[in-house]
Amino acid sequence: MLKTARVSGALLCALVTLAGACAPPVPGTVIDSAAVDLDDWNAVRERAHGQTVRWWLYGGDDRVNRYIDEHVTPAAAERGITLRRIPVADTAGAVQRVVAESQANKTDGSVDLIWVNGENFALGRRSGLWLDGWAGRLPNARYVDPATVEEDF
């Protein structure tokens, strides 16, 4: 999750559904992560409703893409969230884009959510992009190994 979290249902839907913020509540704005009460999931759901989340992930795995298209996207839609899968050839490019936008103090970046591997997670961590401590606050946190989310690489 980005340090300046763009809160939406991807936090609820993608992270919880896939055990991995997201679109701003008003286009072109960003909510500082401190302004979002991750312990109030009803408020998170309300804020997510009607939003679009641009999810950047490797586009070369047909099985994963089909799962997202057939299961995750409809689950998000049931919650009033439009999920746009942005296929990329190299996930590092999406992380580098966020790094560049962050360094330029751009608060309405083009990447809402990234499916990262360990190496790209480490790059984001070194660049100060990720919000720490959120995983244990998810409603279904008991199903996720915290080390997988907080300490990968």
Q: Which has more confidence, 87 or 44?
A: 87
Tell me the two tokens of residue 152: 């990968």
**What pLDDT score does 7 carry?**
34
Nearest to 115 by CA among 88, 82, 150, 145: 88
Rounded average pLDDT over 71-80: 95
Q: From CA 42, how far away is CA 18, in angstroms rounded?
A: 20
pTM of the model: 0.69
CB 115 within 8 A of CB 91: yes
Q: What percent of the chain has pLDDT over 70?
A: 73
pLDDT at 52 over 90: yes
Question: Average pLDDT, whole number, for the chain?
Answer: 75
